[in-house]
Amino acid sequence: MPAGTAFRTLALILNSKGYTNRYSNSDFMKTLTGILLLTLSCSLQAQRNCGSEAYKTQLVQNNPAVAQSIQAAALQIKKTLEQNRLVARRDTSANELINIPVVIHVVYNTPEQNISETQILSQLTALNNDFSNQNSDKVNRPLVFDNVAADARIRFCLAQVAPDGRPAKGIIRKQTSMSVFSADDAVKSNMRGGDDAWDSKKYLNIWVCNLGGRTLGYASLPGSPANVDGVVIGFDVFGTVGSLRPRFNKGRTLTHEVGHWLGVKHIWGDTECGDDEADDTPRQRTYNFGCPSFPTVSACSETADGDMFMNFMDFSDDACMNMFTVEQKKRMRALFATGNFRNNFLASFACDSTLVQAGPVAVDTVAAPVPVKQDVYKIYPNPASSFVTLEYTPAAALIKKSFTVYSITGVKVLSGELTKEKTTLSLSHLMRGIYIVRIGEGSETITRKISKQ
């Protein structure tokens, strides 16, 4: 059963028992959702998971203006495609090669995460093969789908010129004290233990790190804010050599995420029998995983050929995906048309080492580690009887933190603010049992269980 279906089933069980309407606080509900997803992930760990859609939702929630910008970029693609259809049905602008300079930020905590240059180069090769329809496994496609496969005429190079005009290698290595990153953009920020982006109007930023949970990677959609524009990917699914997860060892996680970065959607349209706005990808009910065999027909297949599970924008294993289509290619290239969101790349010459300006060699090989202090919370005693103390050692100056205590059924029983390092709460009016303490806001929230005796 696909994870989406499993999760929907669980959500329905909760609804049918009337639990959800007791939660007055949507954040708490999100925490609960997180716990459910985490539980599910244990049984589904080996499956591909792309964090881009959840990431977009989070980004838009935190900053509603981003929704308009992403929408505007999507409209640019649509408008350009409509114009091109009117003008002799030709491809977006000319079919000239588009060169994308790439900067790889290797943000590592352990030597294993500090991946080799060979591994990085193997990923670049795979990415270029996939985008140019030169991947050797294209022979595995059924003829009916091979007929719509495309060379996107987009190529990627390690940046040869740094933003300041000096020579570059296109690889930045930076040690961090963060043992794991999540899909919250910390890896894109010096301040949060990651590494700041290079100008995302001229470079595709790719951060390689230890990405927690079951997310293999996530991408920002066109229209996202400049400082977070790029792709984040786990070190153990990056490239084709090195210590890689067996099912994700052909570099296709990056191919998929760069597809999103170029405005291409999941092939099932992120909803049951949805539309990915590429006319030559057949409608399919949901994502595939593992290694399906042809034909795989689903509830909304329009022909006996069924799903295009070998498309890079499905969730099949690396060894079983091998193509973009002509219409997907048109979506990507529409982004580069005059006035559109990635048009600046046509004027980015950082792939050409002859355009380096005189100057010392950029120190983009090894940067000094930046220690990151994190907030520390203690809750004691636990189990507690009459009183419990919340202790908070802030990383920076003391910032007020809100806290809420919920019963196990989600009823809010206590709330307030932590304004000093230690706050003692009286529990004497509460019944015995398990309570949940939530401290902080948004992505900084921590949740702990306490037992009242």
3-state class (DSSP) for residue 232: strand
Nearer to Zn ion, 53 or 305 (CB): 53
Q: Which of residues 21-80 bind Zn ion (CB under 5 A)?
A: 50, 52
| Spatial distance between the Cα atoms of 209 and 91, rounded to a whole number of angstroms | 36
CB 337 within 8 A of CB 314: no
Residue nearer to Zn ion on the CB measure, 50 or 104:
50
Tell me how many residues contact Zn ion (CB under 5 A). 2
Pull the structure tokens for residue 362.
């950029």
Q: What tokens appear for 354 in the block?
A: 């002859």
Nearest approach, Cβ of 97 to Zn ion (angstroms)?
A: 25
The end-to-end CA distance of the chain, in Å, is 41
Report if residue 205 touches Zn ion, rule: CB under 5 A.
Answer: no
Pick between residue 52 and residue 286 the one whose CB is nearest to Zn ion: 52
| Distance in Å, CB of 285 to Zn ion, minimum | 17
Cβ-based nearer residue to Zn ion, 54 or 273: 54
Judged by CB, which is closer to Zn ion: 50, or 152? 50
Please report the sign of the dihedral spanned by the C-alpha atoms of residue 347, residue 351, residue 353, residue 354.
negative
DSSP H helices in 106-234: 117-131, 143-146
Phi then psi for residue 328, to 5 deg, are -65, -40
CA–CA dist 106, 195 (Å, integer)? 9
**Tokens, residue 73:** 């970029």
Q: What's the closest the beta carbon of residue 266 comes to Zn ion, in angstroms?
A: 5
Question: Between 52 and 340, whose beta carbon lies closer to Zn ion?
Answer: 52
Instruction: Report the C-alpha gap between 55 and 270 in whole angstroms.
Output: 13
Minimum CB distance to Zn ion smaller for 50 or for 183: 50
Q: Concatenate the DSSP letters of all residues of 143-160 into one string.
A: HHHHTTB----EEEEE-S
Nearest alpha-carbon partner for 181 in 219, 245, 233: 233
Which ranges in 231-341 belong to alpha helices (H)? 252-261, 326-334
Catalytic residue list contains 421: no
Catalytic residue among 257, 391, 417, 421: 257
Please give the residue whose beta carbon sits closest to Zn ion in the complex: 50
- C-beta separation of 433 from 450 below 8 A: no
Compute the least distance from the CB of residue 331 to Zn ion, in Å: 14
Burial (Cβ within 10 Å: 0-12, 13-18, ≥19) of residue 121: middle
Residues designated catalytic: 257
**Interacting residues toward Zn ion by CB under 5 A:** 50, 52
